[in-house]
C-alpha cells in the first residue's frame, strides 16, 4: 500500500521511489549518491544525512530492468498509526533553469509561495474517536491563505479530541535543527523539495501505558469497576489505578516500556525510563497532575481508550516523554550546487516555525 503517490512499500522496511524522467530522476539519484558516498568526509553532507531518509542505492525489478527505483528508509514504519504531512519548502518551487512557462505554471499553482514560503502538499491524520484517517490532498494546501494557514496546519495536529501540542513542540525542535544546517551551508540550494512530518497518532502506542497494578491494588478496586479484569488486560498495555479519596480513577505513566518504545530501546535506556517514572511519582503528589488526569468512574465503562486519549492530550508537558516525531527532508529532483545560502528555503523554514509557534501559543 503506497502511503504517498509513486512510493511503493517494500516488506524489508524500505520504500521504493520510481526515478522521474531525466533530468529530474538522475539529478535526485546523484544527490543521494553524493550525500551517502562512503568516501564522503564533508561535514556539511555528513550532517545532512541526519535529516534525510537513509538511502540504500537503486533497485530495478527483474522483470523491468530499465525501471529504476531509489531504495529509501520508510520513515513511517516504526509508527503504529502514523500521521503524515508533506510540506513543500521555499519561496520558489521552480529551479533557476526553469523555462518561462514552467515558472508560470508553478507560480499559478500557488501564487502565495513567495509570501508564505511553504505549501502543504497533503496530509493524513489519525482520528482516535473514529479509528480512521482523515486525508487532505494538494487542493487543500493550495486553498490556504495567510489568514487560514495557521488553522490549516493545526488540522494536522488535531486528532478529533485535542490538539497534540506535544507533537507541535517536537516538530518545531526538529525544524530548528534543519534550519541551523541551512544557515551554516553554502553549497546546495533546494527547490520544490519537501519536509515529511510523521508523528504517532495512536494512544496505545505512545506513553499512555499506565502503571502496572499489583495484585494487592487490584483487590482494593471498588466492585463493579472491572468486568472480569479485562480493562487491566487490554492489549497488555493499559492498567488502571484506584484513587479512593475521591472515587475517581487516576492514570499514571507506566514504568515499563510501552509497545512503541520497545522498538527504541537504544534511544531510551532503562535508566532514562526510571528517571521519567520518578518524575511522574513526584508530580503525582501535586494537584497539577491530579486535576489534569482524573477520569470519572462512569466515563470508564466501555469507553477506556477515548478517555485515556484525553488523559494523554492533557498530560503536563513535564511528564510526556518528548513525542516521537520525525521530520525529514525529501524530494531532491531540483537540488543544485551553489555558493550562497539558500535564502528561499531558510525563509520558508522560519515562517513555518513561526506558524507552529503560533499554534502552540494559542
| Whether the predicted pLDDT of 192 surpasses 90 | yes
DSSP state letters, 27-78? HHHHHHHHHT-TT---HHHHHHGGGS--EEEEE--TT-TT--EEEEE-TTTT
| Whole-number Cα distances in Å, 217 to 105, 220, 227, 303 | 66, 5, 16, 22
Helix orientation angle between 343-361 and 165-183, rounded to the nearest 10 degrees? 160
The percentage of residues in the chain with a pLDDT greater than 70, rounded to a whole number, is 66
Give 312's pLDDT tier (boundaries 50, 70, 90). Answer: low
- Would you say residue 7 has pLDDT above 70? yes
Q: Which three cell numbers stand for residue 88?
A: 513543500
Say whether pLDDT at 37 is over 70. yes
Q: Would the pLDDT of 337 be above 90?
A: yes
Q: Is the pLDDT confidence value at 120 over 60?
A: yes
pLDDT of residue 344: 98
Identify which of 164-168, 265-269, 272-276, 292-296 has the greatest average pLDDT.
164-168
Q: What confidence category does residue 314 fall into, taking pLDDT thresholds of 50, 70 and 90? A: low
Of 210 and 193, the structure prediction assigns the larger pLDDT to 193
Q: Which of 88, 139, 137, 135 is nearest to 114 (CA)?
A: 88
Instruction: Kindly list the strands in the beta sheet with 294-295, ordered across the sheet, starting from the edge strand earlier in the chain.
Output: 241-243, 248-250, 294-295
What CATH number does the domain located at 75-203+322-361 have?
A: 3.30.470.160
- Return d(Cα 127, Cα 67) in angstroms, integer: 37
Summarize the confidence of residues 298-325 as an average pLDDT: 55
φ and ψ at 292, to 5 degrees?
-85, -15
Residue 341 CA to chain centroid, in angstroms? Answer: 27
- pLDDT value at 103 more than 80: yes
Give the per-residue pLDDT at 287. Answer: 31
Res 223: pLDDT: 39
How much is the pLDDT for 4? 54
Query: What's the predicted TM-score (pTM) here?
Result: 0.72
Amino acid at each position: 500500500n503506497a502511503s504517498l503517490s509513486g512510493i511503493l512499500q517494500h516488506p524489508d522496511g524500505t520504500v521504493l521511489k520510481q526515478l522521474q524522467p531525466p533530468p529530474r530522476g538522475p539529478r535526485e539519484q546523484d544527490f543521494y549518491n553524493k550525500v551517502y558516498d562512503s568516501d564522503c568526509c564533508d561535514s556539511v553532507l555528513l550532517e545532512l544525512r541526519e535529516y534525510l531518509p537513509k538511502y540504500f542505492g537503486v533497485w530495478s525489478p527483474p522483470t523491468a530492468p530499465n525501471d529504476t527505483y531509489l531504495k529509501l528508509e520508510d520513515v513511517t514504519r516504526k509508527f503504529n498509526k502514523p500521521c503524515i504531512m508533506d510540506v513543500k519548502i521555499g519561496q520558489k518551487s521552480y529551479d533557476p533553469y526553469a523555462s518561462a512557462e514552467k515558472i508560470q505554471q508553478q507560480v499559478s499553482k500557488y501564487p502565495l509561495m513567495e509570501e508564505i514560503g511553504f505549501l502543504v502538499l497533503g496530509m493524513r491524520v489519525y482520528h482516535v474517536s473514529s479509528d480512521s484517517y482523515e486525508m487532505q490532498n494538494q487542493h487543500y494546501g493550495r486553498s490556504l491563505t495567510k489568514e487560514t494557514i495557521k488553522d490549516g496546519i493545526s488540522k494536522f495536529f488535531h486528532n478529533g479530541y485535542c490538539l497534540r501540542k506535544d507533537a507541535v513542540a517536537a516538530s518545531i525542535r526538529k525544524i530548528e535543527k534543519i534550519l541551523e544546517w541551512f544557515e551554516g551551508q553554502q553549497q546546495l540550494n533546494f527547490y520544490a523539495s519537501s519536509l515529511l512530518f510523521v508523528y504517532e497518532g495512536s494512544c496505545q502506542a505512545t506513553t499512555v501505558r499506565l502503571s502496572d497494578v499489583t495484585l494487592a491494588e487490584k483487590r482494593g478496586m471498588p466492585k463493579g469497576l472491572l468486568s472480569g479484569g479485562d480493562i487491566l488486560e487490554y492489549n497488555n498495555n493499559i492498567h488502571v489505578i484506584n484513587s479512593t479519596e475521591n472515587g475517581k480513577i487516576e492514570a499514571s505513566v507506566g514504568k515499563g516500556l510501552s509497545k512503541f518504545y520497545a522498538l527504541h530501546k537504544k534511544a531510551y535506556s532503562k535508566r532514562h525510563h526510571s528517571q521519567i517514572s520518578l518524575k511522574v511519582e513526584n508530580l503525582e503528589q501535586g494537584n497539577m497532575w491530579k486535576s489534569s488526569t482524573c477520569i470519572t468512574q462512569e466515563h470508564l465503562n466501555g469507553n477506556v481508550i477515548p478517555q485515556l486519549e484525553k488523559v494523554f492530550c492533557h498530560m503536563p508537558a513535564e511528564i510526556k516523554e518528548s513525542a516521537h516525531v520525525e521530520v525529514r527532508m525529501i524530494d531532491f529532483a531540483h537540488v543544485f550546487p551553489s555558493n550562497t545560502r539558500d535564502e528561499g528555503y531558510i525563509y520558508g523554514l522560519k515562517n513555518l516555525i513561526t506558524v507552529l509557534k503560533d499554534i502552540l501559543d494559542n
